[in-house]
Amino acid sequence: MTNRQDIYTRVTERIVTALEQGTPPWIKPWVPGQGAGPAARPLRHNGEPYRGINVLLLWAEAMAKGYQSSHWLTYRQTLELDAHVRQGEKATMVVYANRVTRTALDEAGDEIEEKIPFLKGYSVFNADQVEGLPERFYARARPVTETAVRIDHAERFFHNTGAVTVHGGSQACYIPRHDRIHLPCIDVFKDAESYYATRAHEATHWTMHPTRLARDFGAKRFGDHGYAVEELVAELGAAFLCADLGFALEPREDHAAYLTHWLEILKADKRAIFTAASHAQRACDYLHGLQPGVSPDGEAVQ
């Protein structure tokens, strides 16, 4: 087994273990009961959020170990900050994907450049495993206070996407042939966060349309393989969006039904969770790119 294949296997096994325990790492990604505030993406030492599969890996590790800090650092970065990892602490693996260019010969014998993708793993430590860091690395988010019925910044975010959303009834769904999201009214939900988490899920589905990201896993009917893969993408996309908006993804009633499908998919294909996380990140970037003052790739416009 190559190192690259081993990384795919190790990451997939980590996610499968969490799913088999009934705790998807994208559900409520914080440690309850210890004053932890709103959910957030894991952060690099410089405050830059992690993306894609690394978000799931670090959420899973934080929940398993009870880490409170959102910050993760390499061993070298801790030394550069005059800090040190406590003795006996174990690192967590994250991955780095890129491409290298090499020269090869085509069938005619002419030189061509090939881009070869590669995947590399490296180790990071949570700030809670490190002593001597500046206080900002240990800062706890403020406890969540009681919110109004609607959350203004979340309301603006979904309004700015331009997705046609119809409220009413008891079902939450996206109907591709009508290109329309259907949601129950907000007062039907137990709280505002649950409403916006559901809206984030359906907004992720909305990005699959041929005029947007043209995402198609070959779903033919409810519950088949392609349907389950798209549901996994929507779940991850919703988790990423919710973290960006400052709250956590709540379990949906249909999670249990999909859990078996997701386990089957991940066990059959060690790259499936990477693919799903990549599609989810792309969907999240697309929705961020629809916000005023943000470029299509999700970067702030100066």
Q: Is the pLDDT of residue 297 over 60?
A: no
3-state secondary structure of 223: coil
> How would residue 104 be classed by pLDDT, with cut points 50, 70 and 90?
confident
In this prediction the pTM is: 0.81
Domain housing 153 = 3-289
> How would residue 301 be classed by pLDDT, with cut points 50, 70 and 90?
very low
pLDDT tens column, 56-94 = 999 989 888 888 889 999 999 999 999 999 999 999 999
Q: Is the pLDDT of residue 34 over 70?
A: no
pLDDT tens column, 136-192 = 898 655 544 444 478 999 999 999 999 999 998 888 999 999 999 999 999 888 889
The count of structural domains within the chain is: 1
**Which CA distances in Å does 149 have to 102, 165, 191, 194, 283?**
56, 18, 7, 11, 27
- The reply to whether 126 falls in a domain is yes
Q: Distance between CA atoms of 242 and 61, rounded to whole angstroms?
A: 19
> How would residue 295 be classed by pLDDT, with cut points 50, 70 and 90?
low
Cα-to-chain-centroid distance, residue 258? 18
- The reply to whether 301 falls in a domain is no
Q: Nearest Cα to 233, choosing from 268, 211, 206?
A: 206
